[in-house]
Amino acid sequence: MKGLGITIALTVASASLLFTGCGKKVSDEADHNHSEHEEGEGSAEISYKEGQGLTINPEVLKALGIKTAEAEERLLENSIRVMAHVFALSPQVLASATVSVEEAARLEDHSSKDAKLVRIDRSTASTTHQVELVVALDRNPKPVLGEFVEVTFNLNASKVLSIPVSALLESASGTFVYVMKGQSYLRTPVKTGARSSEYVEILDGPHLGDVVVTAPVEQLWLSELRLTKGGGHSH
């Protein structure tokens, strides 16, 4: 029975991380930091400190099943997928998509098997850091006006610094990863490049050899929201 009690305690600790945030959605932001917060009576289980991140009791870590991976150089099958909006059907089918300046630079002189890059409009790049792609589509059956279609550009494979896609936390304030810093987990902004189905290129953020959390990333984020915005209490 003693073993059963330990199992129940760990399960409750894990569940407390799942149902956090005092009713707030994951899209809520925790960008303003407090010096330090703790989870009331569970202060020994999980805590947060500015500049250090989350510190989690080993038993809770085990219950959560934390998985990690190193940021390392990998041969990445380079492809960029965009959602393009069909805005013309004659004399050719044209669609437009918005991408980052970095992605646009990679796409120059490249075409998809059923889409040809017509032009890149950089007129808003200085203010939005986004550019517009216009592609001519050659598909059967033809898309209809106003439809959104996925266009995949396959680029040359290259060896780049990368991490698993599952490590990414994409929120309203940007894209982040949780980097291990000693015994803590620090949410760190990341700038990404090309990605495959499994890995994503890192342009800025984690360095070679850094260890990032690949699961459960969202639970760490919910816990951080609770500790920074909820004041360490729950309703």
Euclidean distance between CA atoms 222 and 34, whole angstroms: 16
pTM over 0.85: no
Q: Where are the alpha helices (DSSP H) in the chain?
A: 2-18, 58-64, 101-107, 125-128, 217-229
Euclidean distance between CA atoms 107 and 119, whole angstroms: 10
- CATH architecture under which domain 79-155 falls: Beta Barrel (2.40)
- Sketch the domain layout of the chain as residue ranges: 2-73+159-229, 79-155
Q: Which CATH class is domain 2-73+159-229?
A: mainly beta
Please check whether residue 79 is in contact with residue 194, taking contact to mean a CB–CB distance below 8 angstroms. Answer: yes
Euclidean distance between CA atoms 145 and 83, whole angstroms: 14
Mind listing the pLDDT tens digit of every residue in the chain (235 residues)?
Answer: 444 333 333 333 444 444 343 333 344 444 444 444 444 434 458 899 999 999 999 899 889 999 999 999 998 877 778 899 999 999 999 999 998 887 888 787 776 778 888 999 998 888 888 899 999 999 889 999 999 999 988 777 788 999 999 999 998 888 999 999 998 999 999 998 877 779 999 999 999 999 999 999 999 999 999 998 864 433 3
- To the nearest 10°, the Cα dihedral for 58, 230, 233, 227? 20
